[in-house]
Structure 1
Amino acid sequence: AGLEAFYRALAGESGEGDEIAVLSGEAGALRGVLAGERAGHGEEPGGKGPQSDAVPAMDPRLLVERTEHRLKLILAELAKLRPEQVDPHERLEVYGIDSLLIMQLNHRLAGVFGELSKTLFFEYPTLEGVAAYLAAEHETACRRWTALEEREEQEGKRPAVVAPRAAARSERQRPARRRMTGRAREPIAIVGISGRYPGSPNLETYWENLKSGKDCIGELAGDRWPLEGFYDPSADEAVARGRSYSKWGGQLAGFAEFDPLFFNISPRDAANIDPQERLFIESCWHALEDGGYTRDRLRDRHQGRVGVFAGITKTGFALHGPELWRRGGDGSPHTSFGSVANRVSYLLDLHGPSMPIDTMCSASLTAIHEACEHLYRDECELALAGGVNLYLHPRTYVDLCAMRMLSQDGRCKSFGKGGDGFVPGEGVGVVVLKRLSQAEADGDVIHAVIRGSSINHGGKTNGYTVPNPVAQRELVRAALEKAGARAREVSYIEAHGTGTELGDPIEIAGLTQAFGHDTSEKQFCAIGSVKSNIGHLEAAAGIAGLTKIVLQLKHGELVPSLHAGELNPHIDFANSPFVVQRSCEAWRRPVIERDGVLREVPRLAGLSSFGAGGSNAHVVIEEYVARASEPRAAVVSRSRPALVVLSAKSGERLKEQVLQLVAAIERGSLRGSLGDADLSDIAYTLQVGREAMESRLALTAA
């Protein structure tokens, strides 16, 4: 019957100009309904004439459609397209939209609507979404812009229109995530930590550099590769000629130094192993020493159930092979991401999960997240997690310049005016992780605790390397929910903060939306980025930021974020929860209202890492407040001196161990943090928390 009606309509059996409807039901009843509708159209009940004074209801789509049309005209003009080529339902990336074009669009719209969010076209990837948002949030300006207001004034009517917010929400707000129920999971304790960063061979120097606000970026050393034929100060010329317009970096001194025999690796094999792998091995060893763990203790207490999670993303070492062979060398330099983690497990006889993580710039923070998840699943009892990053071949710089990612003046201006990219940085860092209850039961020294962590991906955006503020918001919300924490409790954010004109505003937009779920308070949370000090360590960026947070918690101070004397004009910090930390000051515990009572809460920090390919990670870290300790069982006195033991692979290295111990004691004495009662702890750790080696020294002290 339906097809027959269709064919009859095509044959023109109905009157010309008639509207045709195919309906199902009893014919007489349908005719009555249709006749009643026609009779009542435009009339009052009782057959009165049309209601000439009634205000017609405007189709809520009309304002959106007219706004879409105006947006089409602007985009077509800026992108050099014909208006009919622009589809408001199509994703903007189809039209080659980039950061420059977005800035031009923002400038045009600012002339109509005033200051809008600079991340608007990142939050709404189609003109339809942008138009729906503008019609919903800026209705009056949209009416004026689309000439609807003028038309209504001429007609003497102003229909009340509620612009359709659903269309705006459809792109900005995804369906609500399933919220976690029940109690938050047990925190993960950080029981060991190590690291080497630009200008910082150890964490003591790292802290002093951060506290003093030192910029550890410098010109590339000539021993890496010559600048001749590599550097061109003109960005356009450099990209066109396959060169680098950056000659700066946060380089790691002595990156190639390695004692292979210490780890029972032959010198020949060690020469072919990527220096990143060698650095990660050393950092794992130092982190275990910091936690007081030997191989025997890992075997006896944890049965070797220790996982290794290594963040790494850079290659380049193998590119030196052809030149080596051309000169007659017979080496075989190679990089294996899997081996970075697997060799640690092999050398230390560990039997837990052993895996590399490559999510680009979020690699080490994702490795820490994965380590926590494996601990929760009881797939290991202890975990080594971190990352490493070295720039071993000039090609790595050239490739980054080709994507216009690097700063042209050697400064990473996180949240500062004039930011145009990041500066490459090098480093390595590792933490030792364990469930908090187990760490407390085992008597571990706990540096801080991880309350919650989350990872996600930005999905489809305006470009492969373009971040998604909506995904970043959901990432932070998920981490806070897992931590069982509210945004108002967070007093510091260690941001990704790569120092780009639009990347930084996108990050602040995502954070502001995430915090806005819990509170409308402004400028209560400090924010900074260690990239302003040491550059962007890519795969090791997350562990560098986590280490900074742990050191700030340890010392109770917030250190300055550099190159932000003038803030990024595209960020409205005054209307956000954040204030850039531009000086060194005490990190005071927040006092917030809980159940109608003001309470002091522990220091809580968030840490973000965003991969260039869209993989994001966020971790919530809290200071550890130790329980009241029982009196010490061992008391050192002249009649009961402590036995201090040291050992090393050689007499020369043993002397170095002695100097390190003396320096540590002197630092503690100068700070007033080391007393006679701590001597028994030092002696105990040196006895059971260090490997026994061939060259040894023992002495008594009181």
Structure 2
Amino acid sequence: MFSPTPDTAGDAPGRIAIIGMAGRFPDAATTGELWHLLKSGREATHWFSDEELLASGVSATHLRDPRYVKAGMVLPDMEAFDAGFFGLSPREAAILDPQHRHFLECAWEALEDAGHRPEAFAGAIGVFAGCGMQAYFANNLLTNAELVEQVGLFLLRHTGNDKDFLATRASYLLDLQGPSISVQTACSTSLVAVHFAIQSLLSGECDMALAGGVTIEVPHRQGYRAAEGEILSPDGHCRAFDDEANGTLFGSGAGIVALRRLEDAVAAGDHIYAVICGSAVNNDGSTKAGYLAPSVEGQARAAAEALAVGGIDPGSVSYIEAHGTGTPVGDPIELAALSEAYSVPGLRQFCGIGSLKTNIGHLDTAAGVAGLIKVALAMHHEELPASLNCVRPNGRFDFSASPFTVVTTARPWPRTGTPRRAAVNSLGVGGTNAHVILEEAPAAPVPGPARDWQILALSARTAEALDGAKRKWREALADPSPDLTLANAAFTTQTGRRAFPHRCAVVARDPAGACEILAGHTHRRMGTGSAGAGTVGAVFMFPGGGAQYPGMGRDLYRDVPAFREALEACLALLPSG
């Protein structure tokens, strides 16, 4: 048993803020949709009809096989990609592995969610990430002899299909000049990438980092054949920690977090989802049953080291997002390892445990970062979602004598006088374990008084994309989160977004008003148009004669410091008397 670590997190240097997130998940195209899926306690599993499977290339022989499970995790718009946004031709986009496509879009969205444009960020931005096997390369490109002949094997691989080029392609296309490192440790890849990003930030190699991973199953929209003793569930459900646990489903997805040193994020006024207090990575070595098997000792060492790095008392951690594949042997091994690291004398079942895989399956290289995003969302929304399909806890592990209880029903997770803390555990075939400790974000400062009217500034590369942006903002404003204010949204759209040619500006007093304006094509408080080339300087606009009235600039003078200072400077130039 590892002895408890004194809780010194408040004094520990080197804390990292999660300031942006983006992702693609089964049945959830964004992190917001993922939260709704979790909050509603849904499984993303899609049950295919025979017609759907035949159309996806599954043979009739497979359909007649009683071991063939007609279930899968479908990634929304898997084939879709905004190639023009990244300056890629249709041919380049067709060659690009879907894993690279979705990773690129998520990288951009994570930067936007963080509110930092690469060209305006004062510092280097790094990328640490990994992806799954190149099934698209084997199934869709190498089978096209004409394409291989025309393009050549070297360019097909380097244009965007090899794992080696995932991180560096994102750095190139987004002009990110920090370290750009591809990470590969099987199922723990994306959480290991987060650990490496943290180390790069702490050493000063970069000032912000994108970290994550992506795996997309190709062929897509198909079921699978379950076999005795393997990891795949024979009934299409993942029952992590349950006595009848019998495997998981493989899903497709991508996840990226934007990270920054906490002191820098606070100083910049960044929105912070959660804070990473400590992380650790190790390998099992040969002290286990076999190469493919997990290890109690290795996982326990990683968890204990992460706790020690963060100066965290294990008894203060109230939730662990486990690897939780729902296998009869894997779950008890993981629980035993975590119990060894988190046991506190005199305390029992003080810590909830759960697994995202019960909702969206096993995302392989993206699984770890998906779990991290889940915990960050739970802290942000102050609610722990349920881990599904656990009716009777696994009898191979004594929960009553352990630190853990499975979170089988959603429950509030509010702020109290003690910081909320959680952990994410991830392990990969081959033995590389990763463990990350999180803490709730510091309380956001109370915003000062804002102007009554705000300008929401939207832009896009095309008119169609601008319509899509208006629709997304309308949806967000129709059901705003508690911390969404129109003033903050207006500030972010004006300073934290790149300005593209097709533009729309909305003047509103509250989210409901902005939502109403965005619902129509035209409105007297909405302006649309296209920006010309070049930079426009100051513009003086003079109303017609008789349009002035006393006090017409009073609100601007009161609410806008720049206007007030400029007006006072002008008035000071007027002759007195």
| TM-score, normalised relative to structure 2 | 0.80
Report deviation, 1:580: 0.5
CA displacement 1:249-291 (0-9 Å, x = unmatched): 2220211101211100111111111100010000000011111
Report deviation, 1:565: 1.1
Amino acid at match of 1:642: Q
Q: Does 1:682 align with 2:501?
A: no
CA displacement 1:468-508 (0-9 Å, x = unmatched): 10111111100001111111100001000100111100111
SS at match of 1:323: coil
**Structure 1 residues 487, 232: closer, same or farther in 2, change over 3 A?**
farther
**Structure 1 residues 327, 292: closer, same or farther in 2, change over 3 A?**
closer
**Structure 1 residues 404, 430: closer, same or farther in 2, change over 3 A?**
same
CA displacement 1:285-304 (0-9 Å, x = unmatched): 00111111113213xx11xx
Q: Does 1:252 align with 2:100?
A: no
Q: Where do residues 5-24 of structure 1 align in structure 2 (5 Å cutoff)?
A: none
Report deviation, 1:644: 2.1
Q: Which residue of 1 aligns with 2:143?
A: 323
Cα distance in structure 1, aligned partners of 2:82 and 2:445: 42
Q: Which residue of 2 aligns with 1:656?
A: 468
**Structure 1 residues 470, 486: closer, same or farther in 2, change over 3 A?**
same
Q: Does 1:310 align with 2:133?
A: no
Q: Does 1:212 align with 2:40?
A: yes
Q: Which residue of 2 aligns with 1:153?
A: none
SS at match of 1:482: helix
Amino acid at match of 2:126: G
Cα distance in structure 2, aligned partners of 1:354 and 1:180: 34
Of the candidates 25, 31, 47, which is equivalent to residue 197 of structure 1?
Answer: 25
Amino acid at match of 2:384: L
Cα distance in structure 1, aligned partners of 2:381 and 2:198: 25
Amino acid at match of 1:308: V
Amino acid at match of 2:246: D
| TM-score, normalised relative to structure 1 | 0.67
Larger Rg computed on CA atoms: 1
**Structure 1 residues 465, 650: closer, same or farther in 2, change over 3 A?**
same
SS at match of 1:360: coil
CA displacement 1:601-655 (0-9 Å, x = unmatched): 11100100110111110100111122644634xx212xxx322211111112111
Report deviation, 1:552: 0.8
Q: Which residue of 2 aligns with 1:368?
A: 194
Q: Where do residues 481-560 of structure 1 align in structure 2 (5 Å cutoff)?
A: 481-516=308-343, 518-560=344-386
Cα distance in structure 2, aligned partners of 1:471 and 1:397: 34
Cα distance in structure 2, aligned partners of 1:453 and 1:673: 28
CA contact (8 A) 1:324 1:330 kept: no
CA contact (8 A) 2:384 2:410 kept: yes
CA contact (8 A) 1:313 1:359 kept: no
Cα distance in structure 2, aligned partners of 1:699 and 1:253: 30
Cα distance in structure 1, aligned partners of 2:198 and 2:187: 19
Report deviation, 1:313: 2.8
Report deviation, 1:329: 9.4
Identity %: 38
Of the candidates 242, 257, 275, which is equivalent to residue 416 of structure 1?
Answer: 242
Amino acid at match of 2:259: L
Aligned residues: 495
Q: Which residue of 2 aligns with 1:9?
A: none
Q: Which residue of 1 aligns with 2:91?
A: 268
Q: Which residue of 1 aligns with 2:294?
A: 467
CA contact (8 A) 1:190 1:450 kept: yes
Unaligned runs of 5+ in 2: 510-577
Q: Where do residues 316-355 of structure 1 align in structure 2 (5 Å cutoff)?
A: 316-320=135-139, 321-325=141-145, 334=157, 335-355=161-181
Cα distance in structure 2, aligned partners of 1:229 and 1:359: 35
Cα distance in structure 1, aligned partners of 2:269 and 2:384: 28
Q: Which residue of 1 aligns with 2:113?
A: 290
SS at match of 1:365: helix
Report deviation, 1:228: 3.2
Of the candidates 433, 456, 459, which is equivalent to residue 644 of structure 1?
Answer: 456
CA contact (8 A) 1:190 1:446 kept: yes
Cα distance in structure 2, aligned partners of 1:206 and 1:474: 31
Cα distance in structure 1, aligned partners of 2:456 and 2:234: 52
Q: Which residue of 1 aligns with 2:435?
A: 618
CA displacement 1:454-477 (0-9 Å, x = unmatched): 011111111111111011111110
SS at match of 2:366: helix
Of the candidates 379, 387, 392, which is equivalent to residue 218 of structure 2?
Answer: 392
Cα distance in structure 2, aligned partners of 1:565 and 1:605: 23
Report deviation, 1:246: 4.1
